[in-house]
Amino acid sequence: MKATSFVMCLVFAWGSAIVAAAAPGGGFPGSNDDKKPSPAGLDADYRLGAGDKLRIEVYKDTQLSQSVQIRPDGKITLPLVGDVSATGMTPLELRDSLAKSLTEYITNPTVTVIVVEAESAHAFVMGEVSHPGPVQLHGPTTVLQALAMAGGFKEFANTKDVKVLRPKGNGLETLRFNYKDVLSGDAKPFYLKAGDTVIVP
């Protein structure tokens, strides 16, 4: 009888662990997954572009829910609504546009737009690097990683005063990056966002 009780306790504990792993947030309670940077440095202001892969979810309608890729002409195609312009919109703006179009066919449609792969997400590296030009952001990418993809610094680069120009509103925000601080371990990871320009003087 004692052996049976022990086995039942083990089964209960194992089941509880599985439930915890499946808890909302994609990890165990207390995990730091929600503190990780968003894929490809995306934020609420990210503008969709050609090549971006999206998942469109229409609540309780599996036929309308689609995985799509924005075409070179900037549009996606969905059942009922046909071609819809997506380039230049934020995911929330596209969501609202699709929901408005679907109201002709569905009562109070609930639409979700998920950016699966931000193929159009680029930063740019220029100045005293070996290979200046665009850098594609396939995932969370730091300034240091972008510099490495650009071939690293040239001989006379000023590594203490690297600037990052970040679009903000109708202007640009200037941020600074010191390579020496990274080497000494005094700097936190500096993640790029789509549209950033890294300038190495």
Q: For residue 181, give the 3-state DSSP assignment.
A: helix
Contact between residue 135 and residue 152 where contact means Cβ atoms under 8 Å apart: no
For CA atoms 89, 91, 94, 96, the dihedral sign is negative
C-alpha Rg value of the chain to the nearest Å: 23
User: Which CATH number is associated with domain 122-200?
Assistant: 3.10.560.10
Say if strands 122-127 and 133-136 run parallel, antiparallel, or are unpaired: antiparallel
Domain with CATH 3.10.560.10 in the chain: 122-200
Domain with CATH 3.30.1950.10 in the chain: 39-117
- The one-digit pLDDT tens for each residue of the chain (201 residues) are 444 444 344 434 444 343 333 333 333 333 333 334 445 556 667 889 889 999 999 999 999 999 999 999 999 999 999 999 999 899 999 999 999 999 999 999 999 999 998 888 889 999 999 999 999 887 789 999 999 999 999 999 999 999 999 988 788 999 999 999 998 888 889 999 888 999 999
User: Which CATH number is associated with domain 39-117?
Assistant: 3.30.1950.10
**For residue 188, what are the CA distances in angstroms to 27, 38, 160, 165?**
24, 17, 15, 18
Chain CA centroid to CA 4, Å: 49
Q: What is the pLDDT of residues 43-99, one digit of tens each?
A: 667 889 889 999 999 999 999 999 999 999 999 999 999 999 999 899 999 999 999
Contact between residue 138 and residue 127 where contact means Cβ atoms under 8 Å apart: no
Closest CA to 192 of 138, 113, 133, 154: 138
